[in-house]
Amino acid sequence: MKRLIVLMGLCLLMQPQAVLAEAGKHPAIPGSQECGECHGDQEKAWFDGKHGLAASPTA
């Protein structure tokens, strides 16, 4: 049981490092450019799913 807790703790500590490493691979974008201009498919999937409901004015 101790090993499982230690493993989970290590995973939680390493996850932010992996995210930060990936962040450096995204190209710089101008301040006026919207994410949806390049990531339209992902944006549509987001808004069509349960997450988009939170952004709608009727929610």
**44 touches 38 (CB < 8 A):** no
DSSP secondary-structure letter at 27? P
pLDDT of residue 12: 75
36 vs 44: CA distance, rounded Å: 8
58 vs 35: CA distance, rounded Å: 23
Tens digit of pLDDT per residue, the chain (59 long)? 888 888 888 777 766 666 666 666 777 777 788 888 888 898 888 888 887 766 555 54
